[in-house]
Structure 1
Amino acid sequence: MTLSRIEARAVAAQAEPYGRIAVVGAGSWGTALATVARRAGREVIIWGRDPEVIEAIRDRSENPKYLPEVALPDGIEATTDMEEALSGAQAVLIVTPSTTLRDICAQMRPHLAPGTPVALCAKGIEARTGLLLGEAAAMELPGHPIGALSGPTFAKETVLGHPTAATVAFEFTYHDRLEPSKSPAARLAISMSSESFRPYISDDLVGVEIGGAVKNVIAIACGMMSGAGFAENTRAALITRGMDEMKTLAENLGGRRETVTGLSGAGDLTLTCSSTTSRNMSLGTQLGQGLKREECFDGKPVVVEGEVNSVSVMDLADRIGVTLPICEAVHAVLHEGADIPRTFRALWARPIEAEPKGMGFQFKHPFGETA
């Protein structure tokens, strides 16, 4: 395909890829991102705590614990030693659960070369503080550009080479705007690009992080309604109004509403709310079918990010004084023992609002509790 004159000028200053990338976290998504980087031609080393997982990746190019029956590309180095993992790394991807972020950053700090960019690939908001993960990481890793890699991505599909797109976001400095090709966002995007993996570049880290955190909570809501026997009308309404909650939160924190309509917002939200491959959707579905939390996933202790995020999202909403009705409903069911049918009936009977909000009025719902 022939480039237009504008496109030709735009690609004239090509970004230089990072030569060596460290992936911190050897679960399914960490392994998938290591695979993406390796297929893109990078030197890749992955760090993990489990010696058996690390041995399988290093010696047999597989991760049977998290990605069974999936072949990984040759040449991915693997280690349980953080110093070894970060030695010579030009960029780092953190792909560990959001609850462990500060601990992981503290382990990394002594071994990172000055100015090495760090991209967060977990999604969430820090519990209790209500801080975005990027804010928490910046506190622990001063002097390092902090960004995020986020989008509609299931790990297994990514490893299998299904065409996948994601967003790489870092805040842009003055110099990044003068020379975008030298920005961490552009360089990391180029570093991860291959025939099947297509990154987009953003300077709205706040908007990207909000999308990744809130979509997990909305997916639980969709699962609850699906499990309770409701169909596509309900799911479409929850996705759309859930996106509005994401926009509200992002905008109040200095992000852009338009970011939430992109891959890291609408794209990720749609994927996560549409398939029980998502643990968030799956948890909601099981709860909607009447299972108790301890009975879900056949009683296995499965970590569901949206369950954790439902607390941290509400911490953040309370801190900045915004109302997120769907997130509040999910939090009430998961953590306050609220009844699912009653909770969602109350959600549907909230005051009738204008869309768009700029119209600035609402009316009592005739079937609402306060009518």
Structure 2
Amino acid sequence: MSTPTEQLAAEGVSIWLDDLSRDRIVTGNLAGLITSRNISGVTTNPTIFQGAIGSGAAAYAGQITELAKAGASVDEAIFAATTDDVRDACDILRPVFDATGGVDGRVSIEVSPDLAHDTEETISQAKALWERVDRPNALIKIPATKAGLPAITEVIGAGISVNVTLIFSLDRYAEVIDAYLAGLEKAQAAGIDLSTIESVASFFVSRVDTEVDKRLAAIGTDAAEALKSKAGVANARLAYELFEQKFADDAAKALLVAGANTQRPLWASTGVKDPSLPDTLYVTELVAAGTVNTMPEKTLEATFDHGVVEGDTVTANYGDAHAHFDALAAVGVDFADVTQVLEDEGVDKFIASWHDLQNTVKTALADALESAR
């Protein structure tokens, strides 16, 4: 019998691991997950690298020592260590990239969250990361802030593949798709082969339920209580409906005919935050062809162990998803405010993790210099 992760892959869902460390690379763990758990990509963020470098000191010690001796700044050391990890992971996933015609086998690396509201610096760092990693199967992560939207267009227009992150609302998602299509038009005008550009749009799921459920609890009625723990899945399902609509319009179809790829929806934040919920909820309820589900290892293992994959669980449920949001509005949940709060908090959390990473690397550089004396 096939495993649940094999069944997911057969349904057209790409399984990406939401984690990376040098230990995973050098021990063969990442390579093993490709074969044993059907992993076809990797996503990273500042929180992941802070944990990797903070807890994996031995794996990074040699490089940190060399960087310290060379007088590297904290940000230069982070840039070197993280791009090396992503490059090595890209090489491990290269056979997947080749076998899928460049669709999968992707590894994401994020621009500094400190730049989330700075368009020009985001563009500059995205190009620097792409050049430094120097692998066709890299993805540069750019947040879907207002300042991020023109950066997405410019970076896609330069022929760079992009993972757009921190998407919570349908309105912002529509703007992200438009930014992607505008970037493809720029790339086409520049004579770039559109087929070489890939993009995913990372729609966050569990954080939506956390914020909405907090508001429903405050309302406290039976009607509000009945709506708990459903908004995240409903929001993602409507995102897929929007994806289908946007890529069926004439402008998008013309680009697809010219060789462009769709910008696949990616389900992020798929580890459940509420322990009373099924631990595979944001996997089995979001099965649809042409999507990516990026999972922390705990969710990946739960899915492999007992996930029940029953085909497409998205496209037949658009009506229920719309009805759910009507019901949320009826009990007094302002979902536009929910998504704005989540975007602001998401940026703030990544900035905090980035600063933690800077502090970790600062200490490691100082310790390396001290040991070398």
TM-score (ref. length: structure 2): 0.33
Structure with greater contact order relative to length (CA < 8 Å, sep ≥ 6): 2
More helix by share: 2
Q: TM-score, normalised by structure 1?
A: 0.33
